[in-house]
């Protein structure tokens, strides 16, 4: 569920197919700059009702999904 939602949000923002986005996709490779990434994190916080801290390790779709799943599981 979390992975699908993240992929959907990215695909919509970037005009990509959901299939083009994988857990290994780096945000920079998808064309997101730091401002875009921060905006996406804020949107994900609102979507999932959690608080994400900007962290350099959150640079792939998989890293974000893993972090969200850990936070949603604790909510």
Q: Which residues are catalytic?
A: 33
Interatomic CA distance for residues 27 and 49, integer angstroms:
22
Q: For residue 75, count CB atoms less than 10 angstroms from its CB and return exposed for 0-12, middle for 13-18, buried for 19 or more.
A: exposed
């Amino acid at each position: 569920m979390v992975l699908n939602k993240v992929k959907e949000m990215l695909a919509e923002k970037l005009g990509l197919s959901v299939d083009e986005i994988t857990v290994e996709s780096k945000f920079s490779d998808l064309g997101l700059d730091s401002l875009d990434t921060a905006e996406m994190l804020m949107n994900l916080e609102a979507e999932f009702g959690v608080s994400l801290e900007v962290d350099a390790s959150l640079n792939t779709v998989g890293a974000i999904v893993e972090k969200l799943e850990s936070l949603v599981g604790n909510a």
